[in-house]
Structure 1
Amino acid sequence: MKLAEFNSADTAVAADALKPCIDVQRWIEAITAARPFSSRATLLDFAAQAAAPFTAAEVEAAMAHHPRIGERPTANTAEASMSRSEQSGVDPSDNGTAAALAAGNRAYEEKFGRVFLIRAAGRTAPEILAALNTRLSNSPAEEDAIVAQQLREIALLRLEGVISE
């Protein structure tokens, strides 16, 4: 969607464009209410500010939509399509890496009670696996802060892909 279209769109249409970026209603409402934006950069700056910080409840709700790293979502939604694209650096046919990611995901979920989340776009499978193994040594408080930051990064990257100049 072009910025001019986003700026002039009905609030519900604009919100629907933002929802696949991150399903946090407060963030979506803040952005749609702040329209019109003079530039894409202004929109992205505002979106970053609106995302800092996400509350624990917002993080939990947003996490419900994220697949495990290494598992490709099969749904035919904008969010699933974005996730598949973001995880393109993880080759599911690489059995060794796939097994290591699956084991790491299980360990992470046992320790933290949620899926491992990382901004996968631009990262290779070995980089993701290394981050997963490193983050397993974090405390829950440290990991909460990292997960919130990763969600912000994912939301902004997705927004960049949704709204063009």
Structure 2
Amino acid sequence: MTSTSAPPGLTRFNALEQPAALAVLRGACASTAWAGRLAAARPYRTADDLYAASDAALAELTAADLREAMAGHPPIGRPAPGDPASAREQRGMAGASEELKAEMLELNLAYQQRFGHVFLICATGRTGEQMRDALRERIGNPPEREREIVRTELGRINRIRLARLLDEDRA
């Protein structure tokens, strides 16, 4: 049986003034286009409706929109200073050896030189070694293939961040 009322976190999100909703969404994904589409489509009846809208907006992002979204992500192994979400998402690198951290820095730089943007992976729940292995594997991808992988990874990250947004206790 489906409830007719939205969960409290979604109700709070739906009730935000447009500028506040945009700010909250830009905190989840740095793409102005993505945030604008999601904010404009409110209210959402269920969290699944919000996730579906996120996926649809992500599919419509241009190459420039994707670059803007990726610019909001720090390199793996170097979470944004003072950003607990960044540190939480990259927790798998926290206990990494100095050797692994140095290797990730080197691989990140090589990836960025090859593709022109940060290596993007949904780091939540992954170990440092898993992220390194994925970077090693993906650095050889053709640019078109890598763009699609980046879009998929960004979608995973956005869903996790939206879920966290809806779960926040703002009451």
TM-score of the aligned structures, taking structure 1 as reference length: 0.89
Confirm whether residue 36 of structure 1 aligns to residue 39 of structure 2: no
Partner of 1:84: 87
Instruction: Tell me what 2:5 maps to.
Output: none
Which residue of 6, 10, 18 corresponds with 1:3? 10
User: Are the counterparts in 2 of residues 53 and 148 from structure 1 also a CA contact under 8 Å?
Assistant: no
User: How do 1:71-110 and structure 2 match up within 5 A?
Assistant: 71-74=78-81, 76=82, 80-91=83-94, 94-110=97-113
Aligned residue number for residue 45 of structure 1: 52
Unaligned runs of 5+ in 2: 1-7
Distance 1:93 1:119, change over 3 A: closer
Q: Normalising by structure 2, what TM-score?
A: 0.86
- 2: CA distance between counterparts of 1:53 and 1:152? 12
CA distance in 2, matches of 1:34, 1:109: 34
Q: How many Å apart are 1:42 and its aligned residue? A: 1.6
Ranges of 4+ aligned residues in structure 1 off by more than 4 Å: none
Instruction: State whether residues 92 and 98 of structure 1, in contact with CA within 8 Å, keep that contact through their aligned partners in structure 2.
Output: no
- Which residue in the other structure is 1:133 paired with? 136
What is the Cα deviation at residue 92 of structure 1? 5.4
| Aligned positions of 1:110-121 closer than 5 A | 110-121=113-124
Write the distance in 1 (CA, Å) between the matches of 2:45 and 2:158: 20
| Other-structure match for 1:156 | 159
Once the 2 structures are TM-superposed, how far is the Cα of residue 148 of structure 1 from its aligned partner? Answer: 1.8
Q: Deviations over 1:112-154 (max 9, x none)?
A: 2222111111111111000000011111111111112212221
- Greater relative contact order (Cα 8 A, min sep 6): structure 1 or 2? 1
Q: Verify the 8 A CA contact 1:119 1:150 in the aligned structure 2.
A: yes
Structure 1: distance between partners of 2:21 and 2:124: 24
Could you tell me whether the CA contact under 8 Å between 2:29 and 2:69 is conserved in 1?
yes
* 1:25 matched residue in structure 2: 32
How far apart are residue 53 of structure 1 and its match? 3.5
Distance 1:131 1:41, change over 3 A: same
Q: Is the 8 A contact 1:40 1:164 kept in 2?
A: no
Gaps of 5+ in 1: none
In 1: Cα distance, 2:93 partner to 2:110 partner: 19
